[in-house]
Amino acid sequence: MDAWTYLAFLAGALTSTGYVPQIIKGLGTRKMDDVSLLMPAVLGLGMFLWLLYGLAREDPAIIVANIVGASLTTVLVAMKLYYRSSRAAI
């Protein structure tokens, strides 16, 4: 791998893990009231499109970054919906 590939993996790691602090906070507080559903939905769609692009280009940095990012986006949305529905039951 060349230096640009390492840079791409680093950039992907940083941008793909942006939801981790919010997920950790949500797990600790069990509250996701301040989390928007629209933002991760739009971002998740963008990540899915980047994933398709990465697959077409056979670029592992783009593929890995967007699989991780889309997975974390899915976790965040699931937490938002779960904690919202568990509060409605109370």
* pLDDT reading at 9 higher than 60: yes
Here the tokens at position 55 are: 């697959």
| Three-state DSSP string of the chain | CCHHHHHHHHHHHHHHCCCHHHHHHHHHHCCCCCCCCHHHHHHHHHHHHHHHHHHHHCCHHHHHHHHHHHHHHHHHHHHHHHHHHHHHCC
Percent of the chain with pLDDT over 70: 94
All domains of the chain, ordered by start, with CATH? 3-10+17-88 (1.20.1280.290)
pLDDT in tens, 35-67: 889 988 899 899 999 999 999 999 999 999 999
Residue 90 confidence (pLDDT): 54
Residue 69 confidence (pLDDT): 94
Here the tokens at position 16 are: 């793909």
56-77: b or e for each residue (b if 16 or more CB lie within 10 Å)? eeeeebbbbbbbbbbebbebbb
Of 42 and 87, the structure prediction assigns the larger pLDDT to: 42
* pLDDT reading at 88 higher than 90: no
